[in-house]
């Protein structure tokens, strides 16, 4: 339930800002919410099964990609601002 709530909050932030970071975080927490739901209704609810690791790997990978993408964009913006400032001097 918590993961679904967090996913909806991130998706709402994404609709307002259009920032890819929020979209990828929302998808990652959505995947986590679905897997927790599946795990709660499965006949063999063992989290150490490989079936449950793949979605977690995907969701954690999305979080890492979102963070790296956001940091890359901020670094590019900072270098553009430094280039503009040095060109005007």
Cβ atoms of 25 and 2 closer than 8 Å = no
Cβ atoms of 67 and 21 closer than 8 Å = yes
Task: Give me the residue spans of the domains in the chain.
Answer: 2-88
Q: 7: burial class by Cβ within 10 Å (0-12, 13-18, 19+)?
A: buried
Cβ atoms of 66 and 43 closer than 8 Å = no
pLDDT of residue 80: 73
| Closest C-alpha to 1, from 34, 44, 42, 50 | 34
pLDDT of residue 87: 61
Per-residue pLDDT, averaged over 50-61, amounts to: 89
Q: Tell me which residue has tokens 């990978």.
A: 61
**Residue 67's pLDDT band (cuts 50, 70, 90):** very high
**Residue 4's pLDDT band (cuts 50, 70, 90):** very high
Average pLDDT along the chain: 87
């Amino acid at each position: 339930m918590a993961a679904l709530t967090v996913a909806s909050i991130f998706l709402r932030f994404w609709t307002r800002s259009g920032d890819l970071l929020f979209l990828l975080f929302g998808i990652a927490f959505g995947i986590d919410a679905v897997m927790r739901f599946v795990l709660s209704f499965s006949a063999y609810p063992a989290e150490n099964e490989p079936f449950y690791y793949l979605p977690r790997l995907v969701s954690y990978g999305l979080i890492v990609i979102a963070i790296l993408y956001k940091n890359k964009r901020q670094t590019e913006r900072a270098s553009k601002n430094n280039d503009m400032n040095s060109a005007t001097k």
